[in-house]
Amino acid sequence: MQTVITICDTCRFSEAEKLSPDGETGGALLAAMIERGADGETVAVRRHSCLMGCERHCNVALSAPGKLTYVLGRFLPEAEAAEAIVDFARQHALSESGQVPFRAWPQGVKGHFVARIPPLPAP
């Protein structure tokens, strides 16, 4: 089953700066890196303006029907963060419930979890 990474493309570049030196938001930079790493089959990406996690920067949500949803934030818009997010999303996609064992978490996502949201009950 496919996991979707929803990325806030309006997130700040850093805690102190809204835009990068090149005039882009951190969310847009991180989104571009994640899009390059996602395969479109197991992991898909969509951009969304404002996930309302503005006290953090570079927020993402990982979700799939019938699975746990994870919200993560406080990332730097860097390749290492993008790779860790995509790696975690692949593991989420392969998991029946969406739960990924802690021992399998990429180092780059540890300390970035904001919320774990249970799936909606089946109709």
pLDDT tens digits in sequence order for the chain, 123 residues long: 899 999 999 988 877 787 888 888 999 999 999 999 999 999 999 999 999 988 888 999 999 999 999 999 999 999 999 999 999 999 999 999 999 999 999 999 999 999 999 998 877
Closest to 70 (Cα-Cα) out of 50, 93, 47:
93
Q: Tokens representing 69?
A: 């949803």
The gap from C-alpha 29 to its chain's centroid, in whole angstroms, comes to 13
